[in-house]
Amino acid sequence: MAEIAELKSVNEQGEVVTCACAMGDLSDFESVPVDRRVLVIGGGITGITAAIDLGNAGYKVVMVERLPSVGGRMLQLSETFPTLDCAQCTLTPRTVESGQHPNVTLKTSCEVEGLEGEPGNFKFLIRQKPTYVDWNKCTGCGTCVEKCPSKGFALFERDAGRMPAIYTLSPQAVPNKPQIDPDRCRFLTRGKCGVCSKVCPVGAIDYEQQESFFTIEAGAVIVATGFDIYDWKKLMPEYGGGRIPDVIDGLTMERYLSASGPTAGKMVRPSDGKTPKEVVFIQCVASRNPEFHKSYCSRLCCMYTAKHARLYKHKVHDGQAYIFYIDIRSTGKGYEQFIQQSVSEEGIVYIRGRAAKLYQKDDKVMVQGADTLTGKKIEIAADLVVLAAAIVPNEGSEKLARILGIECNKDGFFVEENYKFAPVMSGRQGVYLAGCCQGAKDIADSAAQGSAAASRVQVFLSSYRNRMNREAV
Amino acid sequence: MKTIISGDQIKSDFINRVSEISGENFFNCYQCGNCSAGCPSVDEMDLLPSQVVRYLQLGLAEEVKNCKSMWVCAACTMCHARCPKGVDISKIMEALRVLRLREVNAQPRVDLTDFSQDYLERAPQIAIISGCRKFLPL
Amino acid sequence: MRYSYFPGCTLYTKAKKLDDAGRECSLKLGFELDELPDWTCCGATFPLVNDQHMLMSGPTRILADTKDRGDDKLVALCSVCYNVLKRTNHVMLNDEERRAKITDFIERDYHGEVEVLHYLQVLRDEIGFDALKEKVVKPLEGLKVACYYGCLLLRPVKEIGLDRMENPTIFEDFIRALGAEPVDFPFKIECCGAFQTVNSMATATRCSREILSNAVQNGADLVITTCPLCQFNLDDRQPEILKEDPAFTTIPVFYFTQLLAVALGLDSGNLGFERNFINPLELLQEKGLV
């Protein structure tokens, strides 16, 4: 009982120093014993869920995130199935809560580089990448972002639009401070420009910033490093290998459909900015393909493809959407109804078969497909093709596995101790897995695993404390 | 029209023989249709390549034996080159062809006397030789 | 450099221009194609079922002859021969049971020792396209070329391994070395209908039409190929395609060695363009290349 009361008081104190927490000051985190501290790697919806749960339970959490703000893949999404809620609207309260939570400290633009110690008493080496912006000075006014003359390709916007070299990932980014992309910044690459530095009212731009290292001591760690999209541009020449501009992937489609995306939610196609009237969606791209790509089902694609086609139809009423599918896997609550509605009420034509090849013909993308139900080879002259490419672990998962002493399978997903009964346990005590880094899953399942991992951490740390206490006696 | 299928049919000698000499397990195929989507000969086929495999999965030997598809397959192997499960349909088509051409009363599928002298003069040997090997009784 | 060379039946007759130009160019490029003595037909088809061992006895004998001559490399120019020899050799290397059956039958000792090379592979891997570029006396500037691979030069990739299946580049790299411009040509790996030309001619006509139209749409002046069967279908089907579609744009189709000979400044009069339905001479003259 005494412990809980003590934590509560810390809690209240924490609220006073919220800003310091958000800026990444570790003094509050370090104010409790190491067996009450947890590191969460990855600031997506999974990591956020775990961090908030642990924070609410009275643990001190540091959440490290590779990108400049938390939110993860959900930040890129438009609306989410099966309810078609706005992703930003459901995500933002959670990112804000993680940023303001008295027990949660965000360390963005950071990556885990090393691990020492043992379960219950880990010591992590963290690399802080330069943001080239002094966040203690920056007020987040956004003038630099507005004035930056160097707009270019950015992974976050995928093929849907360009981004300034100094940027935040969203208007409601947490933390809402910009960072400079050193590969695209004219000053950092060519020594010329300096516009952001000139317009910053508080002198926060710091081109000299260097990477730095620090350590975090924590009793346990949750790995929630998320997913990426299979590199179909490099590995699937049959779909144009990235050379056909109007062939995009599902994540790019999200950016087009997103109200906060580069087109403000206007549905256009990359090549000429025209509204696509014939849109072909292809499921199982690189998934379920043990011979050449990935053997597993990526689990999300059936649902998000139906969602894409619906959102497209909501924006382009006279447009025609086609979906090449092999099987429909809609096993979540309300998912099958969502699919049924897409088929019967939204005028989307489902074609049972795969598309073998895409090629450019004049301003169309020709789709060579088959409909196995009628036994016909199908050709569609599409304005836009959207590929539901396989879900793969984020880059660097193998390296992180080595650092943490856990296992990856051949596809790079972290291996759980027992898929049925211990899906969030890594096989190494004190190290827990959650979300897509363990295998493809949707938001609902990812958040559930975030909570499950948070619960497992508490079980572990309290039994660890009890053991230590007994040994001390 | 109803079609009766049974375990005996699925395991019949003909079906087993196709599997044996082609070296292909039909049950590797999950009917995604990628082979059919990329097949250059589909216009002249009565069954899509994926349907040929489907009929074999169901043990529908007679339908398969009498299909046209095997005879217009050009063995270009595009189906195999893209099959997510590595099924080589060109081998299955060849197995179907040779089993037909090995039947006691097998008839030639091409008649060289049909071709004009002019055509035969223009056509390369490899066309004639490979054509004979694919279409004449063995 | 000297290689054992297997010309094959068609290169002695209908595709003599492929062979003549290939040999002439090899001398200019400093390698010798030493024709295998007493060679027989390769069979023109690789047996796709695993109980047709007889069809592999011919190509196995050709490979064993190469080995017995003391050579470990055999060059082919024709895609069909290349494919049959290469796939047969794959069996000889990897399938002990079938190898034993075939070598016992032809009474030869052969274990897949010979490496089967395509002429293009010699240019790429042994001569080098950079060195080839140095030898070019008449760069094919302004010539837009559709490099047609077809099937047999590439597939099956695991057995042939010349280049990637979906977007191979060896042919385009070769064309660039000659100073010409390869066009983006999505149908470069589609089938021309192959031997269906003697059975289902409609298939060959339709396939050829799709391939050629795709080449024309992408701005090609001409199509080059390594295969006499492809060359035949793509060239010979054009009158038929024109009948079906008078708006069809005809396009010359000829062998890569012929173009190589032009670039190397060899006597184009010997190249036999007159055999083509669509004679490329006019085009080459227009471009100032002959």
Give me the CATH number covering residue C243: 3.40.50.11810
Contact A361 C164 (CB under 8 A): no
Contact C44 B74 (CB under 8 A): no
Q: Measure CB to CB from residue B38 to each of A290, A357, A372 and give the nearest one.
A: A357
Q: Which residues of C touch A359 (CB under 8 A)?
A: 186-187, 214
* Residue B84 DSSP one-character state: T
* Residue C75 DSSP one-character state: E
- Other CB atoms within 10 A of residue C72 CB: 12
pLDDT score at A18: 30
Q: Measure CB to CB from residue A241 to each of C167, C187, C217 and give the nearest one.
A: C167
Contact A359 C186 (CB under 8 A): yes
- Nearest chain B alpha carbon to C275: B122
The Cα A47–Cα C191 span in angstroms is 51
Q: Which residues of B touch C14 (CB under 8 A)?
A: 122-125
Does residue B59 sit within a domain? yes
C-alpha separations of C190 from A2, A63, A72, B74, C147 in Å: 76, 52, 42, 11, 12
pLDDT score at C270: 65
The neighbouring-strand residues paired with C118 are: C76
Does residue C126 sit within a domain? no
Domain boundary among C119, C149, C169: C119
Contact B37 A368 (CB under 8 A): yes
Contacts of C36-42 spanning 24+ positions with Cβ under 8 A: C36/C4, C36/C5, C36/C6, C36/C62, C36/C65, C36/C66, C36/C69, C36/C74, C37/C65, C38/C65, C39/C6, C39/C7, C39/C65, C41/B125, C41/B129, C41/C8, C41/C9, C42/C6, C42/C8, C42/C80, C42/C81, C42/C84, C42/C85
User: Is there a single domain that holds both residue C102 and residue C158?
Assistant: no
Contact A293 B32 (CB under 8 A): no
User: Is there a single domain that holds both residue B11 and residue B51?
Assistant: yes
- State how many domains chain C has: 2
Does residue B90 sit within a domain? yes
User: Is there a single domain that holds both residue B58 and residue B120?
Assistant: no
What is the C-alpha R_g of chain C? 19
Q: Measure CB to CB from residue B48 to each of A355, A357, A375 and give the nearest one.
A: A375
Which subunits count as partners of chain A given 3+ CB pairs below 8 Å?
Answer: B, C
Domain range enclosing B41? 7-106
User: Is there a single domain that holds both residue C280 and residue C138?
Assistant: yes
Phi and psi at A164, nearest 5°, equal -65, 160
User: Is there a single domain that holds both residue C111 and residue C139?
Assistant: no
Residue C7 sits in a domain of what CATH number?
1.20.1050.140
Residue with tokens 């597939």, as numbered in its chain: C155
User: Is there a single domain that holds both residue B68 and residue B127?
Assistant: no
User: Is there a single domain that holds both residue B79 and residue B64?
Assistant: yes
Q: How far is B45 from chain A (nearest CA, A)?
A: 10
Does residue C129 sit within a domain? no
pLDDT score at C8: 96
Does residue C127 sit within a domain? no
- State how many domains chain B has: 2
User: Is there a single domain that holds both residue C272 and residue C178?
Assistant: yes
pLDDT score at A444: 97
User: Is there a single domain that holds both residue C113 and residue C139?
Assistant: no
pLDDT score at A218: 98
- Tell whether ipTM is more than 0.90: yes
Q: Measure CB to CB from residue C194 to each of B43, B75, B110 and give the nearest one.
A: B75
Q: Measure CB to CB from residue B76 to each of C55, C191, C206 and give the nearest one.
A: C191
pLDDT score at C289: 86
User: Is there a single domain that holds both residue C153 and residue C51?
Assistant: no
Contact C166 A238 (CB under 8 A): yes
C78 touches chain B (CB under 8 A): yes
Instruction: State the 10-residue block means of pLDDT for chain A, 473 residues long.
Output: 29 34 75 97 98 98 96 97 95 96 96 97 97 94 95 90 93 92 94 95 95 97 98 97 97 96 95 98 98 98 98 97 98 97 95 98 97 97 98 97 97 97 97 98 98 98 95 85
In chain A the domains, ranked by start, together with CATH numbers, are 2-129+211-226+394-472 (3.50.50.60), 230-392 (3.50.50.60)
Q: Which residues of C touch B115 (CB under 8 A)?
A: 198
Does residue B114 sit within a domain? yes
Does residue C246 sit within a domain? yes
Contact B122 C14 (CB under 8 A): yes
Q: How far is A319 from chain B (nearest CA, A)?
A: 24
Which regions of chain C does DSSP assign to beta strands (E)? 2-6, 32-35, 73-76, 115-118, 144-147, 181-182, 222-225, 253-255
Residues on A contacting B at a C-beta cutoff of 8 Å: 238, 284, 288-293, 326, 352-357, 368-372, 375-378
Contact A354 B32 (CB under 8 A): yes
User: Is there a single domain that holds both residue B133 and residue B68?
Assistant: no
User: Is there a single domain that holds both residue C180 and residue C254?
Assistant: yes
DSSP secondary structure string, A390-459? PEEEPTTHHHHHHHHT--B-TTSPBPPSBTTTBTTB-SSTTEEE-GGGSS---HHHHHHHHHHHHHHHHH
* Residue C248 DSSP one-character state: P
Mean of the per-residue pLDDT values for chain C? 95
User: Is there a single domain that holds both residue C160 and residue C237?
Assistant: yes
pLDDT at B52 over 80: yes
The Cα C122–Cα C117 span in angstroms is 7
Q: Using H for helix, E for strand and C for coil, what is the string for C34-69?
A: EECCCCCCCCCCCCCCCCCCHHHHHHHHHHHHHHHC
- Shortest CA distance to A99 belongs to which of A39, A51, A33? A51
Does residue C154 sit within a domain? yes
The Cα C240–Cα C232 span in angstroms is 13
- Cβ burial of B113 (10 Å; 0-12, 13-18, 19+) is exposed
Cβ–Cβ < 8 Å for B14, B60: no
Phi and psi at A387, nearest 5°, equal -100, 125
The Cα A284–Cα A302 span in angstroms is 8
User: Is there a single domain that holds both residue C252 and residue C175?
Assistant: yes
User: Is there a single domain that holds both residue B133 and residue B100?
Assistant: no
- Shortest CA distance to A58 belongs to which of A456, A454, A468, A463? A454
First to last CA, chain C: 29
User: Is there a single domain that holds both residue C190 and residue C279?
Assistant: yes
Q: Which residues contact A92 (CB under 8 A, 6 or more apart)?
A: A172
Contacts across the A-B interface (CB distance below 8 Å)? 70
User: Is there a single domain that holds both residue B18 and residue B71?
Assistant: yes
Does residue C71 sit within a domain? yes
Region B70-80: what's the mean pLDDT? 97
Does residue C215 sit within a domain? yes
- Other CB atoms within 10 A of residue C213 CB: 17
User: Is there a single domain that holds both residue B93 and residue B124?
Assistant: no
First to last CA, chain A: 20
User: Is there a single domain that holds both residue C75 and residue C171?
Assistant: no
Q: Which residues of B touch C45 (CB under 8 A)?
A: 75, 129-130, 133-134
DSSP H or E stretch at residue C163: none
Q: Measure CB to CB from residue C14 to each of B78, B94, B125 and give the nearest one.
A: B125
Domain range enclosing C46? 2-119
- Nearest chain A alpha carbon to C215: A361
Contact C186 A357 (CB under 8 A): yes
Does residue B1 sit within a domain? no
Q: Which residues of B touch A356 (CB under 8 A)?
A: 34-35, 37-38, 78, 82
Cβ–Cβ < 8 Å for A352, B33: yes
Q: How far is A361 from chain B (nearest CA, A)?
A: 17
User: Is there a single domain that holds both residue B102 and residue B114?
Assistant: no
Does residue C128 sit within a domain? no
Q: Is the dihedral of CA A81, A82, A84, A86 positive or negative?
A: negative
Q: Which residues of C touch A237 (CB under 8 A)?
A: 164, 166-167
Q: Which two tokens stand for residue A18?
A: 């919220």
Q: How far is B124 from chain C (nearest CA, A)?
A: 6
What is the C-alpha R_g of chain A? 23
User: Is there a single domain that holds both residue B90 and residue B115?
Assistant: no
User: Is there a single domain that holds both residue B43 and residue B78?
Assistant: yes
Q: Measure CB to CB from residue A237 to each of C167, C187, C214 and give the nearest one.
A: C167
User: Is there a single domain that holds both residue C114 and residue C192?
Assistant: no
Residue with tokens 């090393």, as numbered in its chain: A114
User: Is there a single domain that holds both residue B102 and residue B116?
Assistant: no
